[in-house]
Amino acid sequence: MDRKTSFNLWYWIAAVLGILALQYVWTSSRTIEQLGYSDFRALVREGKIAEVEIGAEILDPALLRAGRFDRQVLVDRPDKKGRIDILAVHLKKVVLDADVDRAQVAALTPGFTGADLANLVNEAALLATRRGADKVALQDFTHAVERIVAGLEKRNRVLTPAERRVIAHHEMGHALVALALPGADPVHKVSIIPRGVSALGYTIQRPTEDRYLMDQGELETKMAVLLGGRAAERLAFGRLSTGAADDLQKATDIARAMAMRFGMAEELGEVAYAREGRNAYLGADRPITLFEREFGEATAAAIDRAVRRQVDAALARAMAVLTERRAALERGAALLLERETLGEAELKALLGLDRGVPDRAARDGV
């Protein structure tokens, strides 16, 4: 057999095998509609179909009418009490140190689901093993939360001294604004150690309780904290960097929601412009697209102005706080460059915020 004939033979063998593989994938992944009802029943009787996954988008609304289902169970994210009960199950698998309290761990994890809590316990156990401990301590759970929320530490990511200075001022700006403004979530930790894919530093705020409602003042404070890093860069260096891109996006989203959904823009009145559409099958809420808006160009321009005004006001508020505390900003950035990570107690002590002195920004309503 010559070389050309051998090549052709292997080519046809590969082609036949490819066709058989495609046929197998097609027959094993067909939907019920493609199978047909009779074929589907036959496969069920033969035991070739163990389970069926039905996408919510193909359900008919009639299926949800009263009497169709005996019981509907809503599985939502657990509150603090629910997290304590879930942790009681997962913590049985590990040996705990005396300083670990379920209520404390639950307080660290607002918004976590049951799967998140299971992952948290596993991560904490791994961290304890890596440091050679025979028991899982509270610090392991704290570090595990940071790892889940902010990502893995990337200590091998080399930053220039100039970049580290910018990041230190940026993160200290977030922390200072959060510590200064009333109603902001407490700062748990601030760090300039890169984490995850793109985070060059991070400031972790930890809510003290589960929240289901926020007022206008709290949203404005949240925007000011988000823009604290941007304000610190402008104040310290007189120029801007790309590090605030995510902060700007989040602040803009909040401002747009305040204008379009919550009726918190005075010039737009008590009107909701972001009417949410309905799912064609389930009636579930789904945000409208740009092509489904129900307002004109003049209103769209007014919305843009309201969003711009809210974001500009939040940035001005952050600038005012940091201008008042310029010395603390520089001192905190220097400490952050030296230690790389600062906790809540260290921040308050090192920046002189634990002396009970009334905050001028709070007094003046900054």
Q: Choose one of 119, 150, 181: the last residue of a domain.
A: 150
Q: Choose one of 52, 72, 88: the last residue of a domain.
A: 52
Domain assignment present for residue 299? The answer is yes
Domain assignment present for residue 58? The answer is no
Model pLDDT for residues 13-45, shown as the tens digit of each residue: 777 777 776 665 555 555 555 555 566 667 667
Please check whether residues 244 and 273 belong to one and the same domain: yes
Return the pLDDT at 121: 92
CATH number at residue 326: 1.20.58.760
Return the pLDDT at 11: 67
Please check whether residues 146 and 165 belong to one and the same domain: no
Please check whether residues 114 and 226 belong to one and the same domain: no
Percent of the chain with pLDDT over 90: 28
Domain assignment present for residue 63? The answer is no
DSSP state of 97: P
Over residues 339-366, mean pLDDT: 62
Return the pLDDT at 359: 42
Please check whether residues 348 and 276 belong to one and the same domain: yes
Number of structural domains found in the chain: 3
User: In angstroms, rounded to a whole number, what is the distance separating the alpha carbons of residues 349 and 351?
Assistant: 6
Domain assignment present for residue 66? The answer is no
Please check whether residues 223 and 272 belong to one and the same domain: yes
Task: State the catalytic residue, choosing from 171, 220, 233, 344.
Answer: 171
Q: Please state whether 36 falls in left (phi above 0), alpha (psi between -120 and 50) or beta.
A: left
Cβ neighbours around 17 below 10 Å, total: 10
Q: Average model confidence (pLDDT) for the chain? A: 79
Over residues 53-80, mean pLDDT: 67
Domain that holds residue 10: 3-52
Return the pLDDT at 44: 66
Model pLDDT for residues 73-107, shown as the tens digit of each residue: 667 788 888 999 999 999 988 888 888 888 888 88
Burial of 10 (0-12, 13-18, 19+ CB in 10 A): exposed
Please check whether residues 356 and 301 belong to one and the same domain: yes
Domain assignment present for residue 138? The answer is yes
Return the pLDDT at 40: 61
Task: Kindly state the tokens that stand for 83.
Answer: 């997290």
Q: Are residues 220 and 314 in contact, defined by beta-carbon separation less than 8 angstroms?
A: yes
Please check whether residues 130 and 250 belong to one and the same domain: no
Q: Choose one of 102, 131, 150: the last residue of a domain.
A: 150
Q: What is the CA radius of gyration of the chain?
A: 28
Exposed e or buried b for every residue in 73-93, given b needs 16+ CB within 10 A? eeeeebeeebbbebbeeebee
User: In angstroms, rounded to a whole number, what is the distance separating the alpha carbons of residues 68 and 195?
Assistant: 49
Nearby residues of 89 by Cβ (< 8 Å), 6 or more positions away: none
Q: How many residues does the chain have?
A: 366
Please check whether residues 93 and 166 belong to one and the same domain: no
CATH number at residue 146: 1.10.8.60
Return the pLDDT at 27: 53
Return the pLDDT at 14: 73
Model pLDDT for residues 152-202, shown as the tens digit of each residue: 777 677 788 898 999 999 999 999 999 999 888 888 889 888 877 667 888
Domain assignment present for residue 20? The answer is yes
User: In angstroms, rounded to a whole number, what is the distance separating the alpha carbons of residues 181 and 222?
Assistant: 10
Please check whether residues 296 and 338 belong to one and the same domain: yes
Please check whether residues 145 and 45 belong to one and the same domain: no
pLDDT at 126 over 80: yes
Higher-confidence position of 300 and 199: 300
Please check whether residues 90 and 237 belong to one and the same domain: no
DSSP readout, 274-327?
Answer: ---EE-TTT--EEPPPGGG--S-HHHHHHHHHHHHHHHHHHHHHHHHHHHHTHH
Domain assignment present for residue 62? The answer is no
Please check whether residues 243 and 173 belong to one and the same domain: yes
Query: Known catalytic residue: 324?
Result: no
Domain assignment present for residue 19? The answer is yes
Task: Cite the beta strand spans of the chain per DSSP E.
Answer: 187-191, 202-205, 277-278, 285-286, 341-343
**What pTM was estimated for this model as a whole?**
0.71
Angle at 343 between CA 338 and CA 347, to 5 degrees: 75
